[in-house]
Amino acid sequence: MIEKNYQELLKEGLIKQKVSFDNTKIEKLVKFLDMLLDANKEVNLTSITDPQEAIYKHFIDSLSVIPYLKEYKNLRIIDVGTGAGFPGIPIQIVMADTKMTLIDSTNKKVNFLKRVVDELDIADVDCIHTRAEDLARNSEHREEYDLVLSRALAPLNLLLELCMPFAKVGGIFIAYKSKEVYKEIEKSKKALKLLGGQIKELKRVEVTGVEAERYLVIIEKTKKNLPAYPRKPGIPQKRPIE
């Protein structure tokens, strides 16, 4: 079990990020951390194995988006390339009245997330083993989401092709980014135009316990996507829109 002082670190971090919480939410977040680090011994879920570092770089970083979501209600959200469940699981624990879909192409990670959702009794979460290129062609998911999120380690122009087809017209895609964000935006002009994306805001966020520069790229979807996008699995990675 995670030591009690990690609960306090989590509380302090959330207060600094202006994220509301109660004891039940803190308990679930800490239990998730406990399960993550325990499962990571057998399944490669994260390279971060220190609990304190995980709190800052996974949990607090994931929840840094919350203050910018306060104006929205009853969101249907998809987390593309969720990996070990970030940012989707912490967001679903903290927010109310949201429906969350988590997708990842690694089955072992998805099975872990299903166990987390079940054991922590997290409501309204769907964990799907799939590739974004495939699911975005499913009518139940294509252009059906109010909010698309990704912390995936991929350039913005690639993320746009994988993520924008999930967003409704008028919906939002938020990409978590580092100091390379300006270069990535410059390389994404064609992808933004092609995929109906308009940068609404670029937010620099100060993440408690994280020295590296962190940004949220907030992109609004202004038009429906052409049927050709996203392209077949693997092609966006091999031939990104530039």
pLDDT single digits (tens) 90-106 = 999 999 789 999 999 99
Predicted local confidence at residue 3, as pLDDT: 58
Reading phi first (left if > 0) and then psi (alpha if -120 to 50, else beta), residue 173 is in beta
Predicted local confidence at residue 145, as pLDDT: 99
Residue range 72-238 in CATH 3.30.930.10:
no
Going by the DSSP 8-state scheme, the letter that residue 226 receives in this structure is P
Domain boundaries, the chain: 72-238
Residue for token pair 């624990």: 93
Write out the two tokens for 217: 């790229």
Pairing of strands 167-177, 214-221: antiparallel
Do 29 and 63 meet the contact criterion of CB atoms below 8 Å apart?
no
Please name the residues in contact with 168: beta carbons below 8 A apart, sequence gap of 6 or more: 143, 144, 145, 146, 221
The ranges of the chain with pLDDT < 70 are 1-4
Q: Which of 169, 168, 226, 220 is CA-nearest to residue 194?
A: 226
DSSP string computed for 14-51 = HHHTT----HHHHHHHHHHHHHHHHHTTTS---S---H
Element of type H or E holding 240:
none
21, 108, 174, 191, 224 from 159: Cα distances, Å: 30, 23, 10, 9, 17
Do 173 and 20 meet the contact criterion of CB atoms below 8 Å apart?
no
Predicted local confidence at residue 4, as pLDDT: 58
Q: Which of 103, 89, 112, 80 is CA-nearest to residue 25?
A: 89
